[in-house]
Structure 1
Amino acid sequence: MEQTPKANRVHIGFFGRCNAGKSTLINMLTDQPVSLVSEVAGTTTDPVSKSMEILPLGPVVITDTAGIDDTTELGTLRMEKTEEVVKKINLAVYVLRTDEEPTADDMHWLGLLKQNNVPIALFINEINAENKEVNQEENKEDASAYVESHKGLSELATVIGSADFTSKTKRLELLDLLGGLTPLDVEGDQTLLQGLVEEGDAIILVCPIDSAAPKGRLILPQVQTIREILDYKGLALVCQTEELPAMINSLKNPPKMVICDSQAFDRVDELTPNTIPLTSFSILMARFKGKLQDLVAGVEAIKNLKPGSRVLISEGCTHRRQCDDIGTVKIPNLLKKQGHTDLQLEFTSGGAFPKDVSQYDLIIHCGACMLTRREVLRRIECAVVQGTPIVNYGVLIAALHGILERAISPFVDELKG
């Protein structure tokens, strides 16, 4: 579980009103004091996350959110944070209490989850259950009766469970409920190298070591690619840019493919014979996480950039900017070198991404190795719906160097489909 990147885990959000019992349920589920529990309403202020493993879902990230009826001075900001969680999760647990009627706020947030196609496990917290004998079947019947007695709840919930928080048996019930749901927009059995590598294939990975590369480590896409090659029983051959010719010449047979860092695209293209397929880690990520077709289609907008055009450059992670940072330095310099001067450049990083992107003439996004597939698809859809072209780093750099056709050639049949 610890070896699975956070972006590749199933994300589960817990929602409900203040003091509904979300935090208690999470602590029971994880068997750890992840969330602060108190009778004071509004104890949970910002989303709190915890990684664990739930079979058969596998590695997951559980997120506790602020009460949806938070009326404190910062309540509006907290609801904005909660709304961001809705857009990123793959499953939802919504908690209601048996001693309270569902409110308009409850129906609004349940409807928002449904609108975003998030599967919902509706849990009914049996507040007075401490005086009852623990009877799983009776509690289930009580939960079903509660839902049926309130119009609209049954249509919103994917599964229904009772949440007697005084009983540890409820942990198993919730685990069973979650395990039976199909998460929204997860990678599933799809892989970075789906259909590209077979047993015995030699793949050369060109991994330049620059100031942005963590000392003693490779960046995540490179590590994931190496692991997948090993999973396919292929041969992962790693070198830096100038060692590429010697690596190719040392092989008895040509490699199946060369995969490089997008920043080295132009030089690697020169050093790799045209008979050997070439692509980049960023383009592999675009295919794995989102819709490569939409990102390739966005290339046309590059030709239409003119002085004053607004361009958003968005990073999915947050890191200390280096003097040769790809997003804030290298890509702007490359655009200038290609004649695109006096652009209005704006930058976002981490979870930040504007709701309104119609104001931009182009969005340039990173490879998104730190974002979930659901979040990447949401950002691409946001751009497409608002009519704003979007590309990612690898697609943009290949296009500016005039080698996009070669860089996407391994996926040409998929792009036609």
Structure 2
Amino acid sequence: MSDARRPQRLHIGLFGRRNAGKSSLCNALCGQDAALVSPVPGTTTDPVEKVMELAPLGPVVLLDTPGLDDAGELGAQRVARSLRTLEEVDVALVVLEDSLWGPPEARLAAALQAADVPFGVVCNCRDAAAEQAARRLGPETFALPASIPLAVCRLDGTSTPAGALDEVRELLVRLRPQEEEPPLLRDLLPPRGRLLLVCPQDGSAPKGRLIMPQVQAIRDALDGHALCLVVTDEECGAALESLREAPQLIVCDSQVIAPVAATAPPEIPLTTFSVLMARLKGDLPLLARGAAALHSLRPGDTVLIQEACSHHPQEDDIGRVKIPRLLARLAGGELDCRLLAGRHWQDYDAIQQARVVVHCGGCTLSRRQMTRRLVTARRARLSMTNYGMAISLAQGVLERVLSPFPDALAAYREARLDQSARQRHA
């Protein structure tokens, strides 16, 4: 568990007023001065992240946020950043000074419930009398449902005794979502199934290593006891000829899907790393329906290109050059493609004229973070698909790469029929 990547870690948000003890709680949980602690209100001006192991939860990311009662124009921006963090966390702790609960906490609780984020209340008490008073309280004191758990502690930065945090750890265990991340590909193969991974190593490939989805696929194949052969696109044909028995699944990079589809016999199931990531991180049928919306693009339409990470742009960058070029060819003319880069949540409502969101594979996002982006797009009445499906559609092979996933293929075909019906009645 100690080598878990950031997207697989439980993201825990610490929220509350200035000087409520959020940074002290962060430091006490991780046992070091990860967050600056000061009696001066507003010391935390941006969300602070700490990646760590937290027994008994395992790998987590702690997010310490600015105070919800920050004042002034700059303070309002800090509060907005705190609330934006709600879109990134799996669980949240509302930290109170003693048992002080008022409008800022009530608004936060409403926002957490609206975002479907499990949360609990931590009373950070200054002295024994305040601690005794807090222990007599319950969720009803704060006008919260009885299911909201409550913990009491007395924090003093990193010198807080370990036992003082037992209630907080127990609270987090209760809050932790029980949903397990689905497999990437091993459920698509029988025991000792034959898998061929096609991983091009061109100028955009990182030197000396593989990209994250490729590494995940190899590890998932090993976990599923599959027989895994990894080749570049140039060796794909030779690999197929050398095998005594055909592979039972081929997975390739989206950017070489056309030549691989032409080389691989049609009876061999074929998909892409991007489609696998779409299933792992979100709702594959919904993203397949979003891919169908690309057929209705017309020259001049606005398309949002969303990347979850920030990287140095390449000469032929996929999000900045390749995807816009493919979509323009599909639409029959140039499109207004707007790039939104970064791991943090984006407000799709702010761009009213957009037609569709084309998202990256989301390998740096947790499943919950990716699902929230899908929900946000749907709320803004925007179709969403991802890079790989857009590339496969533009290359004319989307139905083939969706064939290992009958529900997604059916969703795509249904969306295409709906489009045809609307066009007939237009």
Q: TM-score, normalised by structure 2?
A: 0.90
Q: How does 1:52-91 map to 2 (within 5 A)?
A: 52-91=52-91
- 2:377 is aligned with 1:386: no
Q: How does 1:266-281 map to 2 (within 5 A)?
A: 266-281=258-273
- 2:200 is aligned with 1:208: yes
CA contact (8 A) 2:403 2:409 kept: no
Counterpart for residue 103 of structure 2: 104
CA deviation vs aligned residue, 1:56-109 (integer Å, no higher than 9, x gap): 4321111000011011441121112111210110010111122x6312111101
Q: How does 1:109-258 map to 2 (within 5 A)?
A: 109-129=108-128, 142-147=133-138, 150-152=141-143, 154-155=144-145, 158-166=148-156, 167-168=160-161, 169-183=163-177, 188-193=180-185, 195-258=187-250
CA deviation vs aligned residue, 1:21-62 (integer Å, no higher than 9, x gap): 111111111111111001111111100011112344321111
Larger mean Cα displacement after TM superposition, 324-333 or 167-176:
167-176
RMSD across aligned C-alpha pairs, in angstroms? 2.1
Letter in 2 for 1:293: P
Q: Secondary structure at the match of 2:216?
A: helix
Q: Call closer, same or farther: CA 1:366–1:148 in 2, change over 3 Å.
A: closer
CA distance in 1, matches of 2:72, 2:112: 23
Q: Call closer, same or farther: CA 1:216–1:156 in 2, change over 3 Å.
A: farther
CA distance in 2, matches of 1:173, 1:298: 44
CA distance in 2, matches of 1:401, 1:25: 52
CA distance in 2, matches of 1:157, 1:76: 31
Q: Call closer, same or farther: CA 1:329–1:189 in 2, change over 3 Å.
A: closer
CA distance in 2, matches of 1:352, 1:177: 27
Letter in 2 for 1:160: L
Q: Call closer, same or farther: CA 1:149–1:259 in 2, change over 3 Å.
A: closer
C-alpha deviation, 1:379, in angstroms: 1.2
- 2:18 is aligned with 1:4: no
Q: Secondary structure at the match of 2:188?
A: coil
CA contact (8 A) 1:358 1:388 kept: no
Q: Call closer, same or farther: CA 1:156–1:108 in 2, change over 3 Å.
A: farther
Larger mean Cα displacement after TM superposition, 160-169 or 60-69:
160-169
- Please identify runs of 4+ aligned residues in structure 1 that moved more than 6 A: none
Match of 1:261 among 245, 253, 263: 253
Q: Call closer, same or farther: CA 1:69–1:157 in 2, change over 3 Å.
A: farther
Letter in 2 for 1:181: L
C-alpha deviation, 1:246, in angstroms: 1.0
Larger mean Cα displacement after TM superposition, 247-256 or 334-343:
334-343
Q: Secondary structure at the match of 1:76?
A: helix
CA distance in 1, matches of 2:329, 2:348: 31
Counterpart for residue 135 of structure 1: none
CA deviation vs aligned residue, 1:283-329 (integer Å, no higher than 9, x gap): 00101111111111122322221121111111111000000111111
Letter in 1 for 2:262: E
CA distance in 2, matches of 1:414, 1:182: 29
CA distance in 2, matches of 1:65, 1:107: 17
Q: Secondary structure at the match of 2:69?
A: coil
Counterpart for residue 325 of structure 2: 333
CA contact (8 A) 2:348 2:377 kept: no
Question: Identity of aligned pairs, percent?
Answer: 40
Letter in 1 for 2:399: E
CA deviation vs aligned residue, 1:305-359 (integer Å, no higher than 9, x gap): 1121111111111000000111111112222333531211111111252240542
- 2:283 is aligned with 1:284: no
Counterpart for residue 358 of structure 2: 364
CA distance in 2, matches of 1:267, 1:143: 66
C-alpha deviation, 1:172, in angstroms: 2.6
CA contact (8 A) 2:298 2:332 kept: yes
- 2:347 is aligned with 1:354: yes
Letter in 2 for 1:96: L
CA contact (8 A) 1:142 1:162 kept: no
Structure with greater helix share of residues: 2
Larger mean Cα displacement after TM superposition, 170-179 or 277-286:
170-179
Structure 2 stretches lacking a partner, 5+ long: 412-426
C-alpha deviation, 1:413, in angstroms: 4.3
Counterpart for residue 92 of structure 1: 92
Q: Call closer, same or farther: CA 1:313–1:275 in 2, change over 3 Å.
A: same
C-alpha deviation, 1:384, in angstroms: 1.8
How many residue pairs match? The answer is 405
Larger mean Cα displacement after TM superposition, 254-263 or 56-65:
56-65
Q: TM-score, normalised by structure 1?
A: 0.92
